[in-house]
């Protein structure tokens, strides 16, 4: 087996891992802060992608503005849903949050299928990012390198914001002990809405990034959420660093499995999840309670 094939699959794995990282990062923030297992995370990814498609086809607004507008739009939709629906189940068992967001996912996806059918719609790679680099062992399109770079920038940025800033300090406190944090003058309900918005915006951003690669369809993101869930379980529920590191590693591992044993590549992430759950149930970076 040539090292060319291995390196090539590793790069593909890194790109997939970048999407896993952006999505599981948002998922981890939401589950940590709100205690909501947001099954609709993949739906917000789809909304981000569709947002950029609509901006381009209905309003003639291109990729670069869409990179900001589309996640912002997804975040607004998410925050309205959090205020009107999701906040009503905080005091109930986690399963209700899961069921509610599952319902939201089915509703939003169904609505989009009704209006747009399931066929993928192409989204052009922005002109500035066409072409690619010859790495010797493979041809790397510029756009895919851009995806990896942005994922790394956003992951590091989010980690930094949470671990090193005043806002992050407040977010961590509200995650650990929401009621007491209110007694210190922090408007925790508003913070939860904001946190949900951030988590959703990250998914929407991943969606815009994905549009030129995977084409835009109401079904995109539907199966991705299962991988995201596995990533967050392996990394440790709610651990920000855990989800970033796990997402990238599992992406790479998936790529590697494609070389060694192709049929196993869809399964390997879940095998890892099973092993981690048996050996270290709190996840690799999780805190035992």
Partner 1 sequence: MADALSLAVADLHAFYGDSHVLHGVSLDIPAGECVTIIGRNGAGKTTTLRSIMGLIERRTGSIKVAGQDVIKAPPERIARLGVGYVPEERGIYATLDVTENLLLPRKINDRGMPLDDIYALFPNLKERRRSQGTRLSGGEQQMLAIARVLRTGASLFLLDEPTEGLAPVIVQQIGKAIELMKAQGHTIVLVEQNFHFATRIADRHYVMERGRIIDMIPRADVASQADKIQQYLGI
136 in contact with partner 1 (CB under 8 A): no
Is the separation of the CB atoms in 258 and 265 below 8 Å? yes
Least distance in angstroms from the C-beta of 276 to partner 1: 22
Judged by beta carbon, residue 29 or residue 252, the one nearer partner 1 is 29
193 in contact with partner 1 (CB under 8 A): no
Least distance in angstroms from the C-beta of 184 to partner 1: 4
Least distance in angstroms from the C-beta of 289 to partner 1: 11
Applying CB under 8 A, the span of 5-13, 141-149, 179-187, 271-279 interacting with partner 1 comes to: 179-187
Of residues 9-38, which lie at the interface with partner 1 (CB under 8 A)?
Answer: none
Strand partners, 180: none
Judged by beta carbon, residue 139 or residue 160, the one nearer partner 1 is 160
289 in contact with partner 1 (CB under 8 A): no
Judged by beta carbon, residue 88 or residue 130, the one nearer partner 1 is 88
How many of the chain's residues bind partner 1 (CB under 8 A)? Answer: 19
x/- string (CB under 8 A) for partner 1, residues 138-177? ----------------------------x--xx-xx-xxx
Distance of CA 154 to CAs 26, 100, 159, 267, Å?
Answer: 11, 28, 8, 28
Report CA 67 to chain centroid distance, whole Å. 15
Backbone angles phi, psi at 134, to 5 degrees: -90, 110
Where on the chain is the footprint of partner 1 (CB under 8 A)? 166, 169-170, 172-173, 175-177, 179-189
């Amino acid at each position: 087996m040539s090292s060319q094939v291995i390196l090539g699959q590793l790069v593909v794995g890194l790109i997939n891992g970048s999407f896993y990282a952006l999505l599981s990062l948002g998922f981890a923030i939401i589950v940590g802060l709100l205690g909501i297992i947001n099954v609709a995370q993949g739906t917000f990814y789809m909304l981000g992608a569709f947002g950029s498609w609509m901006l381009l086809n209905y309003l003639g607004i291109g990729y670069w503005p869409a990179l900001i507008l589309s996640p912002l739009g997804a975040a607004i939709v998410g925050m309205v849903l959090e205020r009107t629906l999701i906040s009503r189940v905080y005091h109930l068992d986690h399963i209700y949050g899961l069921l509610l967001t599952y319902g939201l996912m089915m509703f939003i996806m169904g609505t989009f299928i009704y209006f747009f059918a399931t066929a993928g719609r192409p989204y052009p790679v922005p002109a500035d990012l066409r072409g690619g680099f010859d790495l010797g062992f493979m041809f790397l399109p510029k756009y895919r390198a851009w995806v990896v770079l942005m994922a790394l920038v956003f992951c590091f940025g989010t980690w930094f914001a949470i671990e090193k800033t005043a806002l992050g300090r407040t977010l961590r406190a509200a995650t650990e002990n929401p009621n007491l944090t209110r007694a210190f003058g922090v408007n925790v309900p508003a913070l939860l809405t904001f946190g949900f918005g951030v988590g959703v915006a990250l998914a929407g951003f991943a969606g815009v990034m994905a549009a030129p690669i995977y084409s835009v369809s109401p079904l995109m993101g539907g199966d991705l959420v299962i991988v995201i869930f596995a990533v967050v379980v392996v990394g440790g529920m709610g651990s920000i660093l855990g989800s970033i590191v796990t997402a990238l590693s599992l992406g790479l591992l998936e790529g590697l499995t494609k070389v060694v044993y192709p049929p196993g590549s869809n399964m390997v992430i879940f095998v890892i999840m099973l092993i981690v759950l048996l050996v270290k149930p709190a996840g690799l970076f999780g805190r035992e309670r």
